[in-house]
Structure 1
Amino acid sequence: MDLVQVIVLAFVQGITEFLPISSSAHLILPKELLGWPDQGLAFDVAVHLGTLSAVIIYFRQEIYALTGGWFQSVAGRGTNTDAKIAWYIIFATIPAGLAGLIFGDFIEDNLRSTSVIAATTILFGVVLAVADRLPTRAKELTQLTLLAAIIIGCAQALALIPGTSRSGITITAALFLGFSRTDAARFSFLLSIPIILLSGGYKGLELILGEAQVDWLSLFLGVVLSGFSAYLCIHYFLSFINRLSMMPFVIYRLLLGLFLIVFTL
């Protein structure tokens, strides 16, 4: 990839990783419309590291509290709210982890087409719209239960299907369960940490065991630019949805899906 491609793809990955608009739908556009090469495994690992760094830095105080509470509960010194949420994040990660191991190869071989991405972009955009229109959305993250966490975790497993959007489907599930937009997004972002770690670690292992050449400058730029854009995205997204709604993202998904359908005709 040349410098322009590296910059564009890093920003696209960083921004779309946490918005409910599907990163896979956007990463296919430069390839299909402009004929750009696939970003490759090494660059994929780099931008995942960048987005992971962004969410960890942004939620560092909450992560510190959750980690402290979790270690306290493991040591048998009681279970507070932070410990419960930390455990819920762990349990909510299991469905996606298992689904990735079982269905990952099938999805990679059969569902990464433009038509599938277009369909899921529209379908789950409509589902997000329905969830966002529900009258009661007052629950806070402190009211999260194990059952609710597992339901959101099962929804996250659906994000293995290209075009679904990991953040979109987890926020949608949380909205259906009655959580506020802000707390639904916060849990979605916190839930992204272990799944990005698992995905990035798995791809990193593939990279280590492989023999592909590595362009270290491109990887460095990928980490920095994806991390920077992801951090800004998290900050402004939380501020945005607290004042407005999910409907701009729903409309955008519908228009993007229709564009992809027209493009495949």
Structure 2
Amino acid sequence: MPLLHLLLLAAIQGITEFLPISSSGHLILLPGITGMADQGQVLDVAVHVGTLGAVVLYFWTDVREAIQGLPRLCTGKADTPGSRLALLLIIATIPGILFGLFLAMTGLDDRLRSVAVIGWTMLIFGIVLYIADRRGDTGRVPEEWTLREAVIFGIWQAIALIPGTSRSGIVITGALFAGYERKAAAKISMLMSIPMIIASAIYLSGEVIATADVQAARDGAIAAVFAFLSALVALSLMMKLLNSISFTPYVIYRVLLGLALLWYAYVHGATMPPHA
């Protein structure tokens, strides 16, 4: 695959994975807008691994605490900060895995990859994020995260499997509605992404291991590195900007893109971009 395509793919995945603007929606639109070929599963796994590395590095203190808490959790006890965080993340991941399997088994995952669907989800969930950003934030911090909220946020995260919704965006929305401050909502969303990205990469790796060749492995390595770098920059920038600005810029982008995609879908009758 041409280097430019690899860099573009990695940059899009890295930047949009953690910003509330939907990485899956942008990756689905990429072939239709540029005329480039679909990237395939090898690169899907590679860029996911790259973004996984970025969020693990950025939140390493919390990740290490959760990992250290796993042995305690395995004994049936969640009475330490690490074991409790590990339990919350596991619970929050289950709805997404179940809904993902449902979409894959029914074939809905392919049918949802349309310009119209992405346009509507961009628009609707962008507006919902704006409402949450205006009505939420009562100063709650990540340490106040409860088991009940882990289930609720997990359901929000599962809905994000519909292209254009944005996994980070919808979890942030749910956390804002629950009263968490902006940075706390973003942090919970990012931590929840770790087991979800791992689950997604494992699922996508099935055919990759059997079909990947040397060239594909090389392309994947390049894409992973650049996805890692772009994701780390995007994540760091967003967390810093939340000290001074709201989520409104992302909402504006979502609304404008959503309206443009709906116009394109219904005026031109374009409902499905090219997909391998």
TM-score bracket for this pair, using the shorter chain length: over 0.9
Task: Report the more deviating stretch, 92-101 or 68-77.
Answer: 68-77
Summarize the Cα distance change of 1:162–1:243 in structure 2 as closer, same or farther, 3 Å threshold. same
Paired residue for 1:218?
Answer: 219
AA paired with 2:252?
I
Superposition pairs of residues 68-147 of structure 1, within 5 angstroms: 68-75=68-75, 79-105=79-105, 106-134=107-135, 136-147=137-148
Checking the alignment, whether the CA contact within 8 Å between 2:29 and 2:115 is kept in structure 1 is no
AA paired with 1:66?
A
1:223 shift after superposition: 0.6
1:40 shift after superposition: 0.7
AA paired with 1:40?
G
3-state SS, counterpart of residue 79 of structure 2? coil
AA paired with 1:231?
L
AA paired with 1:85?
L
Paired residue for 1:196?
Answer: 197
Checking the alignment, whether the CA contact within 8 Å between 1:17 and 1:167 is kept in structure 2 is yes
Superposition pairs of residues 233-248 of structure 1, within 5 angstroms: 233-248=234-249
AA paired with 2:131?
V
3-state SS, counterpart of residue 113 of structure 2? coil
Checking the alignment, whether the CA contact within 8 Å between 1:17 and 1:23 is kept in structure 2 is yes
AA paired with 2:69?
G
Paired residue for 1:66?
Answer: 66
Deviations 1:182-206 (A, max 9, x none): 1111111111111111110111112
CA RMSD of aligned residues (A): 1.7
Paired residue for 2:39?
Answer: 39
Task: Report the more deviating stretch, 204-213 or 164-173.
Answer: 204-213
Checking the alignment, whether the CA contact within 8 Å between 1:137 and 1:181 is kept in structure 2 is no
3-state SS, counterpart of residue 17 of structure 1? helix
Which sections of structure 2, spanning at least 5 residues, go unmatched? 268-276
3-state SS, counterpart of residue 135 of structure 2? coil
1:212 shift after superposition: 7.0
1:260 shift after superposition: 1.3
Equivalent residues, number: 265
1:29 shift after superposition: 3.3
Paired residue for 1:17?
Answer: 17
Aligned-pair identity (%): 43
3-state SS, counterpart of residue 52 of structure 1? helix
Q: TM-score, normalised by structure 1?
A: 0.94
Distance in 2 of aligned mates of 1:74 and 1:104: 30
Paired residue for 1:27?
Answer: 27
Distance in 2 of aligned mates of 1:123 and 1:140: 27
Checking the alignment, whether the CA contact within 8 Å between 2:136 and 2:176 is kept in structure 1 is no
1:33 shift after superposition: 1.8
AA paired with 1:113?
S
Q: TM-score, normalised by structure 2?
A: 0.91
Task: Report the more deviating stretch, 83-92 or 125-134.
Answer: 83-92
Summarize the Cα distance change of 1:84–1:36 in structure 2 as closer, same or farther, 3 Å threshold. same
1:82 shift after superposition: 2.8
Paired residue for 2:273?
Answer: none
Summarize the Cα distance change of 1:100–1:78 in structure 2 as closer, same or farther, 3 Å threshold. closer
Checking the alignment, whether the CA contact within 8 Å between 2:52 and 2:197 is kept in structure 1 is yes
3-state SS, counterpart of residue 242 of structure 2? helix
Task: Report the more deviating stretch, 253-262 or 213-222.
Answer: 213-222
Checking the alignment, whether the CA contact within 8 Å between 1:121 and 1:164 is kept in structure 2 is yes
Which sections of structure 1, spanning at least 5 residues, go unmatched? none
AA paired with 1:145?
T
Distance in 1 of aligned mates of 2:261 and 2:65: 43
